[in-house]
Structure 1
Amino acid sequence: MSENTIFAPVSVLPRVGEKKVEALNGLGIKKVIDLLYYFPYRYEDLSKQNIENLVDGDKAVLQGQVVTSPVLSRFGGKRNSLRFKLDVENLIINVVFFNQPYLRDKILIGQEIAIYGKWEQSNLSLVGSKIIDQAKTGQLEPIYSTTASIKQWSLRKLIKDTFTNYQKDLVNIVPEEIRLPLHLMSEAEMLKKIHFPVNYEEAQVARKSAVFEEFFLYLSRLRWLNKDEDQEGVEVNYDLNKLKKFIETLPFELTDSQKKAVNEICYDIKSPLAMNRLLQGDVGSGKTIVAALGIYAAATAKMQSALMVPTEVLAAQHYDNLKSLFKDTSLEIALLTSATPKAQRKNILERLKTGVIDLVIGTHALIQPDVEFKNLSLVIIDEQHRFGVNQRRALRVKGLMPNILSMTATPIPRTLAITIYGSIKISTIKEMPRGRLPIKTLWVKSPDDPLIDRAVQYELKNDHQVYVVTPLVAESEKIDLRNAEEIYDQYVKKYPEVEVALLHGKMKAEAKEQILTDFAAQKSRILISTTVIEVGVDVKAATLMIIYDANRFGLSQLHQLRGRVGRSSLQSYCVLVGNPTNDIAKKRLELMVKSNDGFVLAENDLKLRGAGEVFGSRQSGEINFKVGDPLEDQKALQLARSAVDQVFKSDPLLENEANGNLHQFLIETKDYDETID
């Protein structure tokens, strides 16, 4: 398999030139194997339908005889329609094709023709999308996700030709000892029946094999990448008495969940095995203080910690908060981002290397090659789902197997988390800090609802602050949504007595940081923003969150945004503004009004959107399964987990001949690491 051509780049395929390579790359198709595993997301049934059984709106193939010549009409610039009549089962119907004038010469009176389109019962019309080769009627036609750069028919033909030419090179990646007892299809059979099924039943059976294989390969790759997990790590012999005394100085009492999480982390870092733990908790539940106590414990053992976050704004905030928290201790703390001046950066790097700095906080700047530590023992990754596998590993290799603590405010069900993330241990913070009041959430349909102005006036009168969030930065001709610049202008005019600020992702890091600093210092009272404030921003005087076009956001994102208020003992409010037209969006807003529990909302988000969307997309380095759904296909996921355990328990390095194909596959696809986690 080492010379298997299915791992060659798509440029080796016939008639695939530079432009088509670029188009395929845009779909995530870089190698021949990617093309073979680029599955259809649905099928069109090309079976001829009985016209009597159709209802309005049905997609159908109707076959009949052309009884009038096609008439081409033009309207609105380049737009046109082609109309003729068709005799179907002795019923004369109207057929119309839009913007396909080239079909006129292919449609002749008396010709027998099959057309796929949408049935309109009211006027006995078929709005055609294509003419079907009569030899293909009765088949299922695969429909793939495409872009403007590559047409559906072109991609379909390329996949078919590639399968024909390369099926002899396909090998079974799942070992026989796993595949045969589970009655899984061979690789060639599975791909054939997914791309070219005879009927839906055949496609569904093939999908079951594909789902298992996808989960199996994902979990195998995760195990392979983390095969050194159980190796000896940095043993942190922290000073328990110093840690207890520090906890006593905190101006608040830890919740029971926080105490439990601290104990679990301290137990792990003192163990000779490297810690790999996920700390999950709702927005505002106090995950950072738990991490801070782990950092302090490491410092008592004279060992270093690193905290990596996804944005410079969040890094600066963590730096300020932890500087304040550790102000009466001897801990040396540094902030390292791409915005750090060269001279300052050089000084930080020197002090890290010599062990003077106990804690460094930063973004991706921490994983640059010239960043060296003396004795890194604890790596904390905030909003861990924002980082890919290679990025997380790049920080881990800065030390001799340091302990890893990942944090997330996007909770998922424990059993699903264990299955998805492999052998990672999980700590969960269930309660909110004492003294916090639940955020009251209201939903209004119109942006002109007087409730919005009353809420803003009330909070300003009480010397509080207001967040206003919108999906867009500037006006868009394509999408009719409220935008940040428009709302900013409106709020400046409506509330001239206070400072109104505008924040969005297109601003430079320095400008963003200054705006947030001014807001935290109450120099500005209203902050108009895009979702750049979704994660981490913590302003205790902010008590009102207004979210325009709330129906355009996902449930988890709405909850993250709402979590920017309610950060103190003050009563806080969230006003959702949106008039959704579909049931799922309505359900999301209803759930937001009913519940403040992030775990409850996460469960519902999984049900409403599917796990693939909740976990994220390939662009951000997150889980994005092609055919499997970890929620709907939990049984297959658990079977795959057991199978992976079986394989790696008996052959940790995949050296046995029976696992040769799997081993080769993982090696050949190692450059996909960033897209699988």
Structure 2
Amino acid sequence: MKSLQDSVANLKGVGPKRVADLATLGIDTVGDLLTYYPSRYDDVTPVDLATVKDRQKVTVQGTIVSEPLLTRYGYRRSRLSLRIQVGQQVIMATFFNQAYLAKKAQLNEQVTVMGKWDARRRQVTANKLLTAADEKKKSSGAVYPVNKHIRQVTLRGLIRQAYDDYWSVIPTLIPTPLRQRYRLLDRQQMIHDLHFPKDAGKAKAARRTATYEEFFLFQLRLQALRRARRQRNGNRILYHNDELKEFIAGIGFELTGAQKRVVNEICRDLREPYQMNRLLQGDVGSGKTIVAAIAIYATISAGYQAALMAPTEILAAQHAEKLSKVFEGTHVHVGLLTGSLTAKQHHQLATAIKDGSINLIIGTHALIQDNVEYANLGLVVTDEQHRFGVNQRQQLREKGNNPDVLAMTATPIPRTLAITAYGEMDVSIIDEMPAGRKPVETRWLKISQQSEALHFLEAQLADGAQAYIVSPLIEESAALDVQNATDLYQEMAKYFAPQYQVGLLHGRMTGEEKENIMHQFKDGKLQVLVSTTVIEVGVDNPNATVMMIYNADRFGLAQLHQLRGRVGRGDRQSYCLLLADPKTDEGKARMKTMVETTDGFKVAQRDLELRGSGDVLGNKQSGVPDFKVGDPVGDLKILQIARQDAANLLMTPHWDEQDDNQPLVLYLQRHQLQTHFD
């Protein structure tokens, strides 16, 4: 029996080579092929050449009035010329490197040609030729994302064949009441009209249905995972409330209202019998680490171990140093596990972790190595969680018996999108900065104002402060006219000599070299640190008051905001200097946003508007899919409606026993097995 799960090898003309080529587009099954939707549609409506401007894209319709002339030159290079009568005039259509069209272009045949109009020569530099047979297929307008392995014409033919052979087994997944409520198409019609629309209206209606379906199915999977997690046995971490209050009172400062709120949310989860899966969002400097420390203390006071996984050794070492001070004099024993330990050190630490004498383990991905066994892991904290792959986070969870999970990120995501993107997680947001924290003053300067920026930096150094100078690249690149870190380091070392010492930090250094440079900077032996974005996350020096970023328009808003967060961590007023001559409107908008606000959530919202959700969320790591048709920003209202509809369906008693919902039940069963949204 035919199924959408059939391999594309079942289609006529698809051998092992084509199977491999289709796989490069993420197409393995017939279902993948049918849901590989067009990115756009070419307008195949013929134009009146009398109204067309030079270099404008055009579609013309006419009759071939001369034998096609094919000229070959060079390796696989060719030019095909056709004379076409369009109305009362004859024009030339030229195709480059499409020699195969010579067989398709027959004398006296009516054709449609698409390309760019050359008004002076009265000709079209064409890229597409459609015959009457193509027009009958009604697939001519669809344009798909392709690569060097698969041509448009090949993909269109395979999609047409797949639809003709499999249309009868395409199940409708959206329940009838929802389809009726929103006037949505059934799935057969939706897929047909996305690939072969008769007109723009049909294509629009199909895309609207596909957008809702995509969001609905995504939300259904996330929320089914969330419900399954809540039914799974976790650890009831029954900490001693009075002891925890005493620890919080001894921290040395008053928690903000937002910190108190999220501590209560997390502690409530710890006591529940199901596994916690909570995302802690907070701007740079909002105090996420102390919130995590409170959760860690609660866990350890209840007799469990806790693990904190950081993306880099620098950040892991920093956490270990900071938390060792926080937990000084308590029953929390900190161990730092990274890849740079000697075999002997690693063995000693692994032994202490296994017997439970080390109860807070901080480290990098070394925490998930096979030879690391935990005595009683109760809580897993991941810092900058989007920097870890889904599998790495899953491996750490599996180290214990369903430990509670707290994922921290200082990359703000607008609340509506965070709730939607991390639909299977509970989201806690610290939206308040600690009292007395001075906002970093941000200035945008042209590259020609570099000397002005350096004079300002000198004045700060003379006052006993330190500074970061950031470059986008490590070494010179012929492709990009940007300042690079090695050249910049040499230039700055010469400029500031002999009064001030300058250091260089970049990603190609060993862990030991990076750590050495960072210690020198923190101890005040280096006054200026020239770096690439390796310092974007976690580097903490309260005495640094200036962040100077060369070619700032080369960075995204989220990165710029992270870099700015490296200063302003002490009592002194701090500054961020953006040196940039942006060539695009988007580049200028990024600079203006940075100057106008230091609120990470406002920066994130602007980033979202400028770049879209894919880049902001970091799809491949965060678990958020690269939606085929839906746009979580532009279609946010549909997404939120679909989210509520999915929740309502899952709460409906015996929904999975109704005949109408059986295709959806099968879909969920299949996808729950192969998808891990972490």
- What's the TM-score, normalizing by structure 1? 0.88
In structure 2, which of residues 614, 617, 621 is the aligned counterpart of residue 615 of structure 1? 617
Give, in whole Å, the separation in 1 of the partners of 2:225 and 2:81. Answer: 59
Distance 1:70 1:273, change over 3 A: closer
Q: Does 1:146 align with 2:146?
A: yes
2:397 paired residue number: 396
Task: Measure the CA separation in 1 of the matches of 2:668 and 2:122.
Answer: 55
Superposition RMSD in Å: 3.4
CA contact (8 A) 2:390 2:622 kept: no
SS at match of 1:438: coil
Q: Deviations over 1:71-110 (max 9, x none)?
A: 9999999988777876544456665555557778987998
Task: Note if contact 2:286-2:433 (Cα within 8 Å) is conserved in structure 1.
Answer: yes
Per the alignment, residue 227 of structure 1 pairs with: 227
Deviations 1:390-419 (A, max 9, x none): 543443343344332222222333343333
TM-superposition CA deviations, 1:622-663 (whole Å, max 9, x none):
442221122222232223222322332236895665543333
Deviations 1:516-571 (A, max 9, x none): 33333334333333323222222222222222332232222221122122221222
Give aligned-pair identity as a percent. Answer: 43
Query: 2:42 aligns to what?
Result: 44
Tell me if structure 1 keeps the 8 A contact 2:56–2:117: yes
Counterpart of 2:187, as a letter, is E
Return 96-105 or 616-625, whichever deviates more.
96-105
Letter in structure 2 aligned against 1:321 = K
**For the structure 1 residues 426 and 170, does the alpha-carbon distance in structure 2 shift closer, same or farther, using more than 3 Å as the test?**
same
Aligned partner of 2:4 in structure 1 is: 6
- The equivalent residue for 2:647 is 645
Counterparts in 2 of 1:336 and 1:660: CA distance versus 1, 3 Å: farther
Q: Which residue of 2 aligns with 1:549?
A: 551
Q: Taking structure 1 as reference, are residues 380 and 650 closer, same or farther at Cα in structure 2, changes over 3 Å only? A: same
**Residue 580 to residue 201, structure 1, CA distance change in 2 (3 Å):** farther
**How much has 1:389 moved relative to structure 2?**
4.7
Residues 386 and 622 in structure 1, CA contact (< 8 A), matched pair in contact too:
no
The Cα shift of 1:205 comes to 0.8
* C-alpha distance in structure 2 between counterparts of 1:463 and 1:424, whole Å: 45
Superposition deviation, residue 590 in structure 1: 0.9
Give the letter for the 1:600 counterpart: K
In 2, distance between residues paired with 1:371 and 1:271?
A: 27
**Structure 1 partner of 2:523:** 521
1:375 aligns to what? 376
Cα–Cα, structure 1 residues 668 and 444, in superposed 2: closer, same or farther, change >3 Å? same
* Structure 1, 452-461 or 597-606: larger mean CA deviation: 452-461
Distance verdict in 2 for CA 1:388–1:203, change over 3 Å: farther
- 1:285: how far off? 1.1
Report the alpha carbon displacement of residue 282 of structure 1 after superposing the two structures with TM. Answer: 0.9
2:262 matches 1:264: no
Matched position secondary structure for 1:6: coil
Residue aligning to 2:164: 164
| Equivalent-residue separation in structure 2 for 1:84 and 1:486 (angstroms) | 55
C-alpha separation between the residues in 2 aligned to 1:545 and 1:77?
Answer: 52
Q: Secondary structure at the match of 2:267?
A: helix
Shift of 1:597: 0.6
Residue 191 (1) aligns with residue 180 (2): no
| Pair 475,155 (structure 1): closer, same or farther in 2 beyond 3 Å | farther
Distance change in 2, residues 1:215/1:577 (3 Å): same
Instruction: Select the residue among 22, 27, 34 that pairs with 2:32.
Output: 34
Alpha-carbon deviation of 1:297? 2.0
Q: 1:178 Cα deviation (Å)?
A: 4.0
1:30-429 alignment, distance < 5 Å: 30-64=28-62, 88-90=86-88, 97-98=95-96, 113-119=111-117, 126-136=124-134, 140-231=140-231, 232-422=233-423, 424-429=425-430
Q: CA deviation at 1:591?
A: 0.9
Which stretch of the first structure deviates more once superposed, 79-88 or 358-367?
Answer: 79-88
Question: SS of 2:444's equivalent?
Answer: strand
SS of alignment partner, residue 229 of structure 1: helix
Distance 1:105 1:225, change over 3 A: closer
Q: How far has the Cα of 1:288 moved from its partner?
A: 0.7
Q: Which moved more, 1:116-125 or 1:531-540?
A: 116-125
Q: Which SS does the other structure have where 2:583 is aligned? A: coil
How many residues align? The count is 674
Distance 1:442 1:7, change over 3 A: same
Match of 2:575 among 573, 576, 592: 573
Gap runs ≥5 in structure 2: none
Question: Following the alignment from structure 2 to structure 1, what is the Cα–Cα distance between the partners of residues 151 and 471?
Answer: 34
What's the counterpart of residue 443 of structure 1? 444
Report the CA distance shift for 1:202/1:455 in structure 2 as closer, same or farther (over 3 A): farther
Q: What are the ranges of 5 or more consecutive residues in structure 1 without an aligned counterpart? A: none
